[in-house]
Structures are given as C-alpha cells and as structure tokens.
C-alpha cells in the first residue's frame, strides 16, 4: 500500500463517521486553540510592555543616593548631590543627559475646578477604555529630562537651563495631564496651582503611546517642574537620578565609573548609593513573562494530552470494528507495515484536521484577546502556527502507534473469525 492509498482510506474512514470523528478531534481543537491564544496574548503583553519601556526612554542608568541622617522633624539632612553628579557625568564619554527624577507624592495640583486631591484611580469601561481622571505624577527634574525620557514637545517649549538656574515657577505637562486639566483647550500660557503656589504652563509633551487603555494613558499622566522649585514647595533634596547613555554598549562602563565616583562622594556611615541599569529590569520582566507563558501554555497543553488519549481510544475502537477487514487483508497478502501505515495515517489525519481547526480557533482567540486586553490586533506568529500544526500531527502519530501495532499483530485466522 502506498501513501496515496493510505490517505484515501483514512479520509473515507473519517467521513464515514463524521460525528464521532468531530468529537474525537475536539480535544485537539480546544488544546491547540488554547495554547495559541495564551502564547499570543502573552506576546502581545510583552510587546505592549516593551513599547512602554521604549517610550519612557532606553539605555538609562538609575542612580539612587540615600541618607540615613534626619533632623528632629524627620526631614532628611542629605546634601544636594546633583551638581556634583552632573559635573562628573557630563565629562564621561557615552553620557548624553543627566537629570533628577524625584517624584513628589504629597503635592496637590489644581486648575479651575479640577483638583488632584479629588481624583481617584482610573476606571475602565467594558471596552477597556479609561474613563475618569487620575492624579498626575509630579516630578522635579532638570532641563535634560525630556532627552532622558524620549519626550518631544507638541506645544509651547521645554524646560530650559534658565528655568532651573533662575528658580522659575514653570511646568510642562504630559499629554494626558493636559487633557485632564484643560480638556481640548491649549494649556500653554495658563497658570496652575501646585500646593497653592502659581506655576505657568510653558509646554505640553506629545503622547508617547497611542490608545485609551489604562497603561497607555498612565505613561503620559505627569507634570514636570524644575527641581529647584522645592525652594517654594519645600521637600527634601533629590535622591533619584537618571543618566542617559548614548547606547547600550557603553552602559556597563559608565555604570562602573559612576559607582566608583559615588564611593568617594557619599559617606557610607550616613548614607548609601546604588546604580541600576534600566535594561536589566526589562530583561528580568521579559524572562518572567516567558516563564508565565510556559506555565500557562503547559496548563493548556494538558487538553492536548487528553485529546491524544481520545485519539488512541477511538483508534482502538476502530481496530475492534475492523478486525474482520484486517483479517481479510492479511489473508490475501497485506504486509504488517501496510496495516500500520493505514492506521497511523488515519490517526495523523484526525489530529491534523483537528490542528487546522484549532489554529483557526486560536487565531480568532488571539485577535479577540488582543482587542479586549490591549486594544491592538494580535495575530499568532508564524512559528506558533507551524509548531501547533506539527504538534497536532505528531500527537496523532504518537498516540496512534499502539492501536496500529495492535492491528498489524492480529493473526489472520483469528481476525477472520471475528463478527
């Protein structure tokens, strides 16, 4: 028996019992569809997360300098380390920007009837879009913040060196913060209140990530002030800084040099300093998402195992039903290899057809999950589709071996006696 004949016979057998064949393939269809949907959804989540990291700036070093010395009121006695850090970093090859990155948690921002103290976290509607307002993050930074964070001005101007040097009370808004406080109006030239102090809006940054889902709008919900504004707002000296490198190749060298500089700058008896690579967090999160994908994919793959057992069971039933046919074929000279080929082909075709239907289900599931979860269209990668189909056929062959061998080992005389 050649392969073409085996395929024809297998196809005829499957069509002869459509209902049973469909129920048999159901486990494979659900398993393949579930695995493809989960893997595609996790890839979409990873892509969305990496997009946010890229939007917030890459090739960055996060420098943190802490002091353990406090006055009687609990205020830190740490000196202003930024001038020394800035002077050192601007002389380093491979450094293109340095800025404080101090987030102020206790500042109240207001304009007209809008007040951040009355805002809560975003609410998400049934379509995944954000409704309502959320208090903006307020950062005290230098004029190099936009360079370090990959920000571009959409309206007005950016912070300047003179703003920090002259203690100007100005601010620049992220795209979402501008929408929250001003709606469709132009904020440039307006005056906002920050803890009761007046700050003129001089610019608005362009949105870094398009979309109205939670993660997208959160990235652009911020307001930046010159770090010297703490003279009127109060608060401690900046402790967190960003050092922007020209590329990832020089990050390790720059990191080592800054660590060496900080050892001589910070008294280890009263404080400490750390330098972390932003990319390391991205790599760590990518690894974690990969592990989660494997775990979820493994759980979904259990249904494939169940489907494979179903294939084996139905093929054993088929062997029992066709025992007399097998005996006749063996009696007129059919080789055992021909019997094995016939039943393996039937099992492989059952799983292959189930795999194709499962790929369709997985593709639809990926698109739906992408739209609901990330407001983006996600299609399974080519390698996922190829692996899914190959796995389904392989399952048919693996779980079809035992029934095929059992059929081939039937003795012709005993098989002919079967009713």
- pLDDT band at 415; cut points 50, 70, 90: low
Alpha-carbon span 46 to 368, nearest angstrom? 17
Q: What percent of the chain has pLDDT over 90?
A: 26
Mean pLDDT of the chain, nearest integer: 83
Determine if the pTM surpasses 0.95: no
Q: Where are the domains of the chain?
A: 3-50+285-417, 58-278
Query: Count of H helices and E strands in the chain?
Result: 14, 15
Flag whether pLDDT at 115 surpasses 70: yes
* 370: Cβ contacts below 8 Å, ≥ 6 apart: 40, 41, 44, 376, 377, 378
Flag whether pLDDT at 280 surpasses 60: no
> pLDDT tens digit string along 350-363?
888 888 998 999 89
Q: Could you give the angle at which helices 82-89 and 251-265 cross, rounded to 10 degrees?
A: 140
What is the mean pLDDT of the segment spanning 127-149?
84
- Ramachandran region of residue 57, left (φ > 0), alpha (ψ -120 to 50) or beta? left
The secondary structure of residue 73, as a DSSP letter, is: T
E strands, 101-196, in order: 102-104, 109-111, 114-115, 123-124, 130-131, 137-141, 153-156, 170-173, 191-194
Alpha-carbon span 15 to 4, nearest angstrom? 17
Q: What DSSP element (H or E) covers 245?
A: strand 240-245
* 390: Cβ contacts below 8 Å, ≥ 6 apart: none
Alpha carbon distance, N-terminus to C-terminus of the chain: 25
Q: What is the largest CA-CA distance in the chain?
A: 104
pLDDT value for 1: 54
Flag whether pLDDT at 391 surpasses 90: no
Bigger pLDDT: 411 or 196? Answer: 196
Flag whether pLDDT at 224 surpasses 80: yes
> pLDDT tens digit string along 233-253?
887 788 899 999 988 788 889
pLDDT value for 177: 93
pLDDT value for 370: 80
Burial of 203 (0-12, 13-18, 19+ CB in 10 A): buried
Distances in Å between the alpha carbon of 406 and those of 142, 328, 411? Answer: 78, 16, 10
- pLDDT band at 206; cut points 50, 70, 90: very high
């Amino acid at each position: 028996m050649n392969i073409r004949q085996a395929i024809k016979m297998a196809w005829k057998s499957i069509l002869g019992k459509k209902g049973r064949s469909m129920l048999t393939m159901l486990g494979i269809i659900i398993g393949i569809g579930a695995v493809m949907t989960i893997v595609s959804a996790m890839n979409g989540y990873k892509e969305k997360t990496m997009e946010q990291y890229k939007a917030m700036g890459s090739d960055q070093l996060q420098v943190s300098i802490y002091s353990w010395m406090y006055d009687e009121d609990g205020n830190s006695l740490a000196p202003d380390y930024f001038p020394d850090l800035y002077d050192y970093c601007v002389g380093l090859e491979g450094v293109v920007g340095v800025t404080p990155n101090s987030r102020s948690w206790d500042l109240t921002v207001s304009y007209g009837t809008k007040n951040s103290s009355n805002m809560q976290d975003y609410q998400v509607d049934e379509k995944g879009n954000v409704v309502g307002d959320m208090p903006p993050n307020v950062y005290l930074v230098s004029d190099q913040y936009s360079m370090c964070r990959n920000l571009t001005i959409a309206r007005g101007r950016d912070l300047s060196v003179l703003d920090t040097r002259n203690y100007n009370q100005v601010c620049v808004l992220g795209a979402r913060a501008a929408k929250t406080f001003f709606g469709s109006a132009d904020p440039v030239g307006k005056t906002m209140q920050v803890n009761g102090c007046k700050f003129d809006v001089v610019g608005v940054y362009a949105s870094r990530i398009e979309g109205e889902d939670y993660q997208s709008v959160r990235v652009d919900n911020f307001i930046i002030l010159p770090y010297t504004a703490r003279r009127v707002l109060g608060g401690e000296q900046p402790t967190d800084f960003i050092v922007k490198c020209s590329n990832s190749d020089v990050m390790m060298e720059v990191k080592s040099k800054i660590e060496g500089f900080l050892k001589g700058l910070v008294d280890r008896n009263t404080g400490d300093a750390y330098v972390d690579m932003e990319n390391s967090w991205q790599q760590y999160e990518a690894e974690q998402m990969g592990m989660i994908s494997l775990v979820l994919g493994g759980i979904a793959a259990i249904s494939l195992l169940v489907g494979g057992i179903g294939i084996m069971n139905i093929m054993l039933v088929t062997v029992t039903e066709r025992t007399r046919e097998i005996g006749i074929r063996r009696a007129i000279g059919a080789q055992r290899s021909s019997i094995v080929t016939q039943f393996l082909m039937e099992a492989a075709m059952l799983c292959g057809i189930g795999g194709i239907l499962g790929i369709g289900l997985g593709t639809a599931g990926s698109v739906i999950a992408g739209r609901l979860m990330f407001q983006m269209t996600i299609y399974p990668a080519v390698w996922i589709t190829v692996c899914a189909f190959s796995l389904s056929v392989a399952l048919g062959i693996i779980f079809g071996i035992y029934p095929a061998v059992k059929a081939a080992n039937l003795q012709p005389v005993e098989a002919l006696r079967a009713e």
